[in-house]
Amino acid sequence: MITMKKFVIYAIAALALGNSLASCTPEEKDLFDQSSAERLNAAVDRYRKLLCSAPNGWCMEYFVNNDWEPGYVYLMKFDKSTAVKIAADNVWIGNKYTESTSVFDVIADDGPVLTFNTFNPIFHLFATPDNVVGNGAPTDPNDPSSDLDESGYGHRGDYEFVIEKGTDDMMVLRGKKWGLKIIMRRMADDADWKEYMAAFKERQASMFSKNTPDMRMVVGGKAYVIANMASGVANIYPEGGDAMTETIKFPYIMTENGFRMVRPFRGMDSNEKYAVQSFVINEGHTAFVCSDEGQEATISNYEPTKWLFDTKYTWASDADGVGGRIAEAYAELANGITRYGTLRKVGLRYDSRKHSHAIYIETSRINNDNNYYIDIDQDENGTFSMLFTGETSDNANILLTRVPAVGSFIEVLTSATYTAAYPDGLNAAVIKLTAADAPDDHITVSIQ
C-alpha cells in the first residue's frame, strides 16, 4: 500500500525527471536543424567545390573488379564548368600518355556520388561491358597463346563513385557498382602530368621487374610468399605451401612511397584477426611495412644466396659491376679474349644437363654453353666460396686452353670467401658479392 509520504516522494522524482527531459529538447533540435535532403545537398555542393579546388587536379588510384589486372593511375583536373580533363598511360591505350576531356558531376543519390556522365574513351573503357581482347587480357588456361576474355562483363570497372569522405589532400570513394575502394590524392601544384606518369611507370619497373624474385611477408606470426609482383598482381600463398593450389591474387597499385592492394589481406582462414592492405618503404629501404592503422606486417626479401644459387636464375655482370682484383682480372680477360670476339658479360648460372652451377663467360662469338663448373661451400652465416672443379663445357675449354686470362679470371673469382647483399635495397634482382677479407674486391650481378 502506497502511503501519502511515499506518494509525495514519487511525485517529486517524476517532476524532476520531466524537467531533465525537457531541458534536453533544445539540444536535440540543434542536431537535426536540417533535413536529410538538405544535409545531402550540402555535402554534394561541398565535394563539388573540393574537387574543383585543386589547381593541378588529383591522382586517382583506380581498380577494377577482377584478379588478373593491376590498379591504374588516372590524373584528373575538375573545372567548375563540369569539364574534367583525364590523363592515363596504360596497356589498354597503347602504353602512351594520353589526355581526354569529358564531363563530370557530383549528384545526390544514396549519398554524394561523383559521376563521369559523358563517355571518356580512356576512362570508360574499363566500365564498358564487352569482351576483353588484346595485350594484357587474361589467357585461357587451356590455350596459353590466347588473349581474350569472353565473359562479356569487360574489365568490371566503375564510372560512378560514392564519396565516403574528403579533405583538401585526399578523397575516399567507393565504386557504386562493384564496391571497390578508390582513393584520389591531390596533385602538387607544380607537378608536370606527363613527367608524373612517366615517373610512376619507372617506379613500378625499377621496384618490381619481370625478374624480381619472390618476397616474404610476415603478419600475425605467420609467413607468406609474395610472388609475381612485376605483373601488378601479387600472388600470395603460405610459406612452405603449394603455390598452385593455395595462391590468392591481390591486384595492387604503386604509390609514391609504397603500394596499396585492392583489398585487405586477411590470411588464409577465418580465424585470422589481421587485415593489411597498404605498405610503405621503411627508412632503410630494406622492407615494406604496413601503414594501416592498428595493423603490423612486414614484406622483405629472402637472403640473397637463396636466389643467387637458385636453379632457375642466371646472373650476369660487366665491366661496370666489378672492382678491385676482380676488375683487374676482368680487364685482362677483355683484352685477352679479343680473338674470340668482344667480352659481353660474365656471371653465374645453373646447367640443368650437368646438374651443376657454373661461372660463365660470354663473348660476341662464343656465347652458348660456355660454362666453368663450380662447387659451392656456404656456411650458416650466409658467406660462401666457390671452387672450380676443373670441368668445363666444350666452348669453355677452348677459351681456357687458348686464353691464359680466362684461367686467371676464374682463379681470382674463386679465391675469395664472399658476403652477398642487395645494393639497391628492395630490388632483389641485383646482388653484390664482396670478398670478406678484401672489401674492394667485388662483383655485382643482376638477373637476366
DSSP string, 250-266: EEEEEETTEEEEEEEE-
pLDDT of residue 141: 56
pLDDT of residue 271: 77
pLDDT tens digit string along 260-289? 999 999 998 877 889 999 999 999 899 999
Residue 152, exposed/middle/buried by CB under 10 A (0-12, 13-18, 19+)? exposed
For residue 165, the surrounding DSSP H or E stretch is: strand 160-166
Q: Of 313, 279, 308, give the one whose Cα is nearest residue 296.
A: 279
Supply 99's cell numbers.
589526355
pLDDT tens digit string along 359-398? 999 998 876 678 999 999 999 888 999 999 999 998 899 8
pLDDT of residue 130: 84
pLDDT of residue 32: 56
Rounded to whole angstroms, the Cα distance separating 176 from 334 reads 62
Instruction: Calculate the CA dihedral of residues 229, 231, 232, 234 and round it to 10 degrees.
Output: -40
Query: What is residue 443's three-state secondary structure?
Result: strand
Backbone torsions φ then ψ of 174, nearest 5 degrees: -135, 125
- Contact 442/326 with Cβ under 8 angstroms? yes
DSSP string, 307-348: HHT-TT--EEE-GGGEEHHHHHHHHHHHHHTGGG--EEEEEE
pLDDT tens digit string along 233-270? 999 999 999 999 999 999 999 998 999 999 999 998 87
Q: Considering only the top CATH level, what class is 306-447? A: mainly beta
Assign 34 a pLDDT band (cuts: 50, 70, 90). Answer: confident
In SS3 terms, 176-196 reads as CCCCCEEEEEECCCCCCHHHH
> pTM here?
0.84
Rounded to whole angstroms, the Cα distance separating 88 from 102 reads 14
Q: Of 382, 342, 345, give the one whose Cα is nearest residue 360.
A: 345
Q: Does domain 47-202 have CATH number 2.40.128?
A: yes
Q: How many CA atoms lie within 13 A of 172 on its CB side?
A: 4
Rounded to whole angstroms, the Cα distance separating 79 from 218 reads 45
Sign of CA dihedral 403, 409, 412, 416: negative
pLDDT tens digit string along 13-33? 444 444 444 444 444 445 456
- Contact 429/209 with Cβ under 8 angstroms? yes
Cβ-based neighbour number of residue 227 at 10 Å: 18
In this prediction, residues 175-203 reach a mean pLDDT of 96
pLDDT above 50 for 10 = no
Q: How many CA atoms lie within 13 A of 163 on its CB side?
A: 24
DSSP-assigned letter for residue 140: B
